[in-house]
Amino acid sequence: MRSVFLTLLTSCLLLVACNKKQAPSSPPVPVNIFTVKARQVFYYDRYPANTAALSQVDLRPQVQGYITGISFTEGDHVRKGQVLYEIDRRLYQESYDQAKANLEVAIGNLKQAQQDADRYTYLNTYDAVAKQILDHAAITLQNAKNTVAAAEQTLKMAETNLNYSLISAPFDGTIGFSQVKLGNMVSVGTTVLNTVSTDDPMGVDFLISEKQLAHFEELKNSKQQTIDSLFTIILPNDSVYHYMGRISVIDRAVDPQTGTIRVRVVFPNPGYFLRPGTSCVLRVHNQETGPKLLVPGKALVELMGEYFVYLVKDTFAPLPDDSTKTQAVQMAIQKKVQLGQTIEPNVIIKKGINAGDRIVLDGVQSLHTGSLITISKKTDTDKGKKGRPMPNNL
Assess if residue 68 is contained within a domain: no
Assess if residue 251 is contained within a domain: yes
Centroid of chain to Cα 66: 40
Assess if residue 12 is contained within a domain: no
Strand order in the sheet with 173-175: 56-59, 194-197, 173-175, 77-78
pLDDT, average across residues 199-220: 92
The predicted-structure confidence for 202-211, as pLDDT tens digits, reads as follows 999 999 999 9
Whole-angstrom distance, CA of residue 100 vs CA of residue 152: 8
Helix pair 131-164, 90-124: axis angle to 10 deg: 160
Residue 150 sits in a domain whose CATH number is: 1.10.287.470
Assess if residue 185 is contained within a domain: no
Name the average pLDDT for the chain.
84
* pLDDT at position 73: 94
The predicted-structure confidence for 162-180, as pLDDT tens digits, reads as follows 999 999 999 999 999 999 9
280 plus 294 within the same structural domain: no
Residue 220 sits in a domain whose CATH number is: 2.40.30.170
Residue 304 sits in a domain whose CATH number is: 2.40.420.20
pLDDT, average across residues 288-310: 84
300 plus 275 within the same structural domain: no
pLDDT, average across residues 95-117: 95
Assess if residue 358 is contained within a domain: yes
256 plus 272 within the same structural domain: yes
The predicted-structure confidence for 308-347, as pLDDT tens digits, reads as follows 989 988 877 666 665 666 667 788 889 899 988 777 788 8
264 plus 318 within the same structural domain: no
280 plus 201 within the same structural domain: yes
Assess if residue 192 is contained within a domain: no
250 plus 294 within the same structural domain: no
Question: Residue 126 sits in which domain range?
Answer: 90-164
* pLDDT at position 391: 41
95 plus 36 within the same structural domain: no
Residues near 126 by Cβ (< 8 Å), separated by ≥ 6?
none
Whole-angstrom distance, CA of residue 90 vs CA of residue 108: 27
- 278 pLDDT exceeds 90? yes
- Cβ(337)–Cβ(351) below 8 Å: yes
201 plus 280 within the same structural domain: yes
Of 250, 267, 285, which marks where a domain is finished?
285
Assess if residue 31 is contained within a domain: yes
* pLDDT at position 367: 83
CA dihedral 357, 360, 364, 367 (to 10 degrees): -80
Range of lowest pLDDT (7-16, 45-54, 67-76, 273-282): 7-16
Name the band, by pLDDT with cuts 50, 70 and 90, for residue 11.
low
Q: Between residues 80 and 285, which one has the greater pLDDT?
A: 80
Assess if residue 81 is contained within a domain: no
Domain count, the chain: 3
